[in-house]
Amino acid sequence: MLDSIRKRQRTLLTIITIVVIVAFAWFYNPASMRRAGGPSGAIGKLNGRTITVGDIQKVERSIQLAYSLGMHDLLESLTTEGRTRDDQFLSFAWNLLLLRDEANQLQVVPTADQIRNAEKALPQFQTNNQFDPAKYQAFLDNALKPNGFTAADLDDVVADNLRFAGVTQLIKDSSPLPESMFKQQYEQLNQKVSLAVIRFKRADFQPSIQVSDAEVQKYYDQHKDTILSPEKRKVELVSFLLSDDQKKLPEAEKVGAKKPLAEQADSFAQAALQNPSAFEQTAKEKGYQVVHSEPFTVQQPDKVLSQDPALAHEAFDLTKDNPVSDVTE
């Protein structure tokens, strides 16, 4: 028996080693752990508290949002090298959770005002170096909501970026930067990259691919929430404007000139609210001109609304139950 084992010792050890390696890889592979435990399953501990798969997934979702906001320093500094993208995302999630803990201990806690001011300063929400509420709202409607994000998620990402900036500043002021950091940055900027490309001609494969109507319908049903075209609307509007001479009046006199216009607008609005379907007829009876817009999206308002970007957003706030807007100055 012992002789038989000795003869097969190397083979047995190889098999045992492979089994151990495979088992280790499965048990400690993040993807396997996620599948096994579900969102509420524990994946590890940080500073004495249990971290669940759901905690990690929530942080990983914020990567897309941080990237779209141009927070590259946050992403690059907290993401370590990994064999796969999952490994890199996982490292970012753990490092961000750790950063939050350390920031709290160092009392680097962004206030609501700091978060709001930081959001207003983001380049994506600027027009002529000024905060543009229309761009902010467009980002919420077109970048956040279609991807399952809310304004609260935006606040969280901005707060994390403020924590990162605050902790980074503390470290820079109190300790020298390691040489390895400069080396890594130099290599990233100057290293040569080899790229191999294999081209496939669509014409070589297209004739053999047959897509049935059922497959098209199935794909649409699975992705219909992400392939919707932007909503378009048409509006009718009545304007109450100062004359060219009134526009040249001093501000104090201009306020007086606006008062009768405001009264006319309120009177017309009340009449239009009584019968929204007769909006144009009501305007004609009162001697007002109705302007019709072409179909437009909230990002590309019609030219009749271009004088005030807020008008486009008000147009998209209208509903069947409330088809007439308030008077807007």
- The per-residue pLDDT for 158 is 94
- The per-residue pLDDT for 110 is 92
- The per-residue pLDDT for 38 is 56
The percent of residues above 90 in pLDDT, for the chain, comes to: 12
The pair of structure tokens assigned to 260 is 């009768």
Rounded to whole angstroms, the Cα distance separating 266 from 270 reads 6
For the cut 90, the answer to whether the pLDDT of residue 277 exceeds it is no
| Residue ranges covered by each domain of the chain | 8-37, 39-176, 236-317
For the cut 90, the answer to whether the pLDDT of residue 118 exceeds it is yes
- The per-residue pLDDT for 2 is 41
Stretch 44-61: mean pLDDT: 83
Taking all residues of the chain, what is their mean pLDDT, rounded to a whole number? 80
Q: Do 312 and 262 touch, CB atoms closer than 8 A?
A: no
Alpha helices in the chain (DSSP H): 2-7, 9-28, 30-37, 53-68, 72-78, 85-105, 112-120, 133-139, 151-174, 179-190, 202-205, 213-223, 244-247, 251-274, 279-285, 309-317
Which of the pair, 6 or 45, is modelled with greater confidence? 45
With b meaning 16 or more CB within 10 Å and e meaning fewer, what string describes 35-63? eeeeeeeebeeeeeeebbbebbeebebbb
- Least confident range of 39-48, 120-129, 231-240: 39-48
Q: Do 216 and 272 touch, CB atoms closer than 8 A?
A: no
Rounded to whole angstroms, the Cα distance separating 311 from 329 reads 10
Residue 198: phi and psi, rounded to 5, are -115, 120
- The per-residue pLDDT for 122 is 92
- The per-residue pLDDT for 37 is 53
Which of the pair, 306 or 261, is modelled with greater confidence? 261
The percent of residues above 70 in pLDDT, for the chain, comes to: 86
Q: What angle do CA 230, 234, 235 make, to 5 degrees?
A: 135
The pair of structure tokens assigned to 254 is 């201009």
Dump pLDDT digits (tens) for 242-272: 888 888 888 888 888 888 888 888 888 888 8
Q: Do 279 and 272 touch, CB atoms closer than 8 A?
A: yes
Neighbours of 278 (CB within 10 A): 13
For the cut 60, the answer to whether the pLDDT of residue 278 exceeds it is yes
- The per-residue pLDDT for 159 is 93
Dump pLDDT digits (tens) for 57-106: 888 888 888 988 999 888 888 888 777 778 888 888 888 999 898 888 88
- The per-residue pLDDT for 19 is 40
